[in-house]
Amino acid sequence: SDLQKQEERGELLQPLTFVLLVLCSVLLYFRVSLMDPGFVKPEGAEAGKQEAESSAVSWVPGGIPEVPARRCGYCLLKQPMRARHCQLCRHCVRRYDHHCPWLENCVGERNHPLFIVYLSVQLVVLLWAGQVAWSGLHFQQSWDWLKHNALLLISFLLIVTLSTVVLLLLVSHLYLISCNTTSWEFLSHHRISYLQHSGLENPFDQGVVLNLWRFFC
């Protein structure tokens, strides 16, 4: 059959790979959006365990004073350094980065690395889809061509727009990760007490290599 011939020639490998990437992207989306981003738990044994697990990410170099943990004004829990209360999720989130409206979840200590993986896979899918859409466009200066290719042209322009947004988002996050800072800390540096008292621009920065290693590994 034609399908068997295409399989023998290896023509089915690319579409199958694309479908798998799309499926992986969808699974990552649901995983990141449904998982606990690092909600601060009440004081106790579980909170102590969580504090130990997050020590590598929240580590501060010696000589820089740590601001004592304060009570959150919303949920009244003891708020560790780099945590912030999200009024949409109604929880304090460890190493809070931002609340993503597309995920309907916060991006924090636990799901931030997976969020970067999701953005990377999504960018590959969009670029691949854009290449496929571009290969089907053979421009001609005629009304009939525009009428028959309008949907494909709109799809290509939409893919380009989404690819640009995802690319900028991924690059900005990788830059902040390489500096060991978060979107919230970067945008609200002047309002965060532990940054104001540190005396340094970024007390968490340990160098690009170590910052990336601590974040992903």
- The whole-number average pLDDT for the span 29-40 is 95
- Kindly state the average pLDDT of the residues 61-73: 63
Joined together, the tokens standing for residue 4 give: 């068997």
pLDDT on residue 63: 43
The pTM of the full predicted model, rounded to 2 decimals, is 0.82
pLDDT tens, position by position, 124-160: 999 999 998 888 777 666 666 667 777 888 888 999 9
Query: What is the rounded average pLDDT of the residues 13-20?
Result: 89
Whether residue 81 contacts residue 38, with contact meaning beta carbons closer than 8 Å, is answered with no
User: How confident is the model over 181-217, as pLDDT tens digits?
Assistant: 999 999 998 888 878 777 777 889 999 999 999 999 8
SS3 content of the chain, % helix, strand, coil (to 5): 55, 10, 35
Cα-based distances in Å from 137 to 12, 147, 152, 160: 22, 13, 8, 14
Please tell me whether residue 163 adopts helix, strand or coil conformation: helix
Query: What digits encode the pLDDT tens for the residues 74-108?
Result: 888 888 889 999 999 999 999 999 999 999 999 99
Annotated catalytic, 100? yes
- Six token digits for residue 89: 């999720």
Single out the catalytic residue among 24, 75, 89, 100: 100
The residue written with tokens 């449904």 in the block is 34
